[in-house]
Amino acid sequence: MKQSIKNKQAVEKASIAVSEFDMDDALIIDPKIRAEIEAKGLVCRWINGHKFKDNYGFDARRWVPYKTETGMGEAFGGKDSEGYIRRGDLILAVRTKEMNAAHKAKIDRKNKTLAAAQNKQAADELRQRMKDAGVKGVKILEGYEANGEDE
């Protein structure tokens, strides 16, 4: 059964005994470790261990492998010899919430810029097609304009 991301996050935060813990999800993080990470003001995600090693311990997005201070439950497996939490070739990594928010803001700005350019290009193409077809008096909107309505 596939679960949404929100459902998976809810399962991670809940106790295993009272949750609908999915034993097939290899990427679930022990709730104790997630709480430990959040208490330190960090966010976590899985990064590719091979790529991290090939780059001599550097991740371009500034993720740092996490060494837990908490013991891991039996359901979640253990740590490797270096103290990292691994799942196959993935390593659990962290970065600060501030750094994460700045990165997401950068991505949002980039997406808005690209969407605006794409909307302008599509509107320009449509204007040209209308002109070629001899259609006049048509207003072509770029993006999702309210068209005079208050929203």
The helix or strand, by DSSP H or E, that contains position 124, with its residue range, turns out to be helix 97-133
Q: How far apart (Å, rounded) are the C-alpha atoms in residues 30 and 135?
A: 62
Residue 100: predicted pLDDT: 94
CA 66 to chain CA centroid, nearest Å: 18
pTM across the whole model: 0.61
Residue 94: predicted pLDDT: 96
Non-local (6+) Cβ contacts of 99 within 8 A are: 62
Residue 13: predicted pLDDT: 61
Question: pLDDT tens track of the chain, all 151 residues?
Answer: 556 677 666 656 655 544 455 667 778 888 888 889 999 999 999 999 999 999 998 998 999 999 887 665 555 556 777 888 888 889 999 999 999 999 999 999 999 998 888 888 888 899 899 889 998 888 888 766 555 554 4
Residue 25: predicted pLDDT: 78
Read off the tokens for 99.
């750094």
Non-local (6+) Cβ contacts of 111 within 8 A are: none
Residue with tokens 């259609």: 135
